[in-house]
Amino acid sequence: MRLDIITLFPRMVSSFFEESILKRAQNKQLVEVHFHDLHDYSQNNYGSVDDYAYGGGAGMVIGIEPVALCIEGLQKERKYDEIIYTAPDGELLGQGRANRLSMLDNIMILCGHYKGIDERIREHFVTLELSIGDYVLTGGELAAAVISDSVIRLIPGVLSDETSALSDSFQNNLISPPVYTRPVDFRGWKVPDILLSGNHAKIDQWRYDQSIERTKQRRPNLLDKE
Ligand code: ADE
């Protein structure tokens, strides 16, 4: 997969890809991530990319020209399966969407900005608008990192044990069961006996029951999903 992230603040998001599983995924050449600074596409001598809003009002708006130049430059090189815009009023990111995105080859993510972005960019270039939750961030950089993380970890080979992604919370619309490791007794807080029993059929059943119970308690809405 190739991921192109367009942002006013490349450093805000690029460091996130320099550690742990995302870094290993790049080293293994399972994903390529490229960052593009919108300032590099400025059409004036000051390097600015925003301008006053037509009709007045507070705040500047990111103009269409630098964004169009950047997107069209990338599109000349390859076809993009999805051009994502991060915005609080987009579709709420869920595991199903992450699964579908993980099967694509080329994804562009345009980070939104608190100042706003010319609406024509959304109308004419963007194919998918995603929100990571019902709260407002100062910009789309964190959202781009969250979206990328949820997608990259699902690419086959990224996680050392592929089944660990399949058994994640939300993959079956169920919350994951609790897990434990040594010591078996910490200050009298004990690991459930069933997990020490060696009876794998019973352990699987226990885990499933725990998943159902936790989902009912914590996220009952998931049980109604298809
Ligand atoms: N930009 C600002 N807030 C956001 C959110 N909740 N999700 C995605 N992008 C955003």
Domains of the chain and any CATH numbers: 2-152 (3.40.1280.10), 169-224 (1.10.1270.20)
Instruction: Tell me which of 132, 142, 146 to substitute to probe ligand 1's pocket, judged by most ligand atoms within 8 Å of the beta carbon.
Output: 132
The kind and range of the H/E element at 74 are helix 64-77
In the prediction, which pLDDT does 147 show?
98
Q: Are 94 and 84 in contact (CB under 8 A)?
A: no
- The two tokens of residue 222 are 């998931």
- From the CA of 213, how far away is ligand 1's center (Å)? 31
Q: Determine the atom of ligand 1 nearest the C-alpha atom of 112.
A: 1
Taking residues 147-156, what's their average pLDDT?
A: 97
Per-residue pLDDT tens digits for 175-188: 999 999 999 999 99
Tell which residue, 117, 25, 24, 112, has the closest CA to residue 62: 117
Question: Who contacts 80 (Cβ-Cβ below 8 Å, separation ≥6)?
Answer: 4, 74, 106, 107, 108, 127
Q: Which amino acids bring their CB within 6 angstroms of ligand 1?
A: 86-88, 112, 131-133, 135-137, 140, 143
Taking residues 27-40, what's their average pLDDT?
A: 97
- The whole model's pTM is what? 0.93
Taking residues 122-140, what's their average pLDDT?
A: 97
In the prediction, which pLDDT does 116 show?
85
Instruction: Tell me which of 130, 131, 135 to substitute to probe ligand 1's pocket, judged by most ligand atoms within 8 Å of the beta carbon.
Output: 131
The kind and range of the H/E element at 128 are strand 128-131
Q: Are 130 and 84 in contact (CB under 8 A)?
A: yes
In the prediction, which pLDDT does 162 show?
57
- From the CA of 135, how far away is ligand 1's center (Å)? 7
In sequence order, which ranges of 78-199 are alpha helices (DSSP H)?
Answer: 95-101, 119-124, 141-152, 163-166
Tell which residue, 95, 89, 91, has the closest CA to residue 222: 95
Indicate if the pLDDT at residue 163 is higher than 70: no
In the prediction, which pLDDT does 87 show?
95
Residue 92, judged by CB atoms within 10 A of its CB (0-12, 13-18, 19+), counts as exposed
Closest residue by CA, ligand 1 atom 6? 88
- The two tokens of residue 14 are 């690029």
Indicate if the pLDDT at residue 144 is higher than 90: yes
Indicate if the pLDDT at residue 155 is higher than 60: yes
- From the CA of 88, how far away is ligand 1's center (Å)? 4
Place 226 in a pLDDT band, splitting at 50, 70 and 90.
low
Tell which residue, 106, 42, 33, has the closest CA to residue 70: 42
Per-residue pLDDT tens digits for 39-63: 999 999 999 999 999 999 878 999 9
Indicate if the pLDDT at residue 114 is higher than 90: no
Query: Would you report the helix, strand and coil content of the chain in percent, each value rounded to 5?
Result: 40, 20, 40
- From the CA of 115, how far away is ligand 1's center (Å)? 12
The kind and range of the H/E element at 7 are strand 2-7
- From the CA of 197, how far away is ligand 1's center (Å)? 46
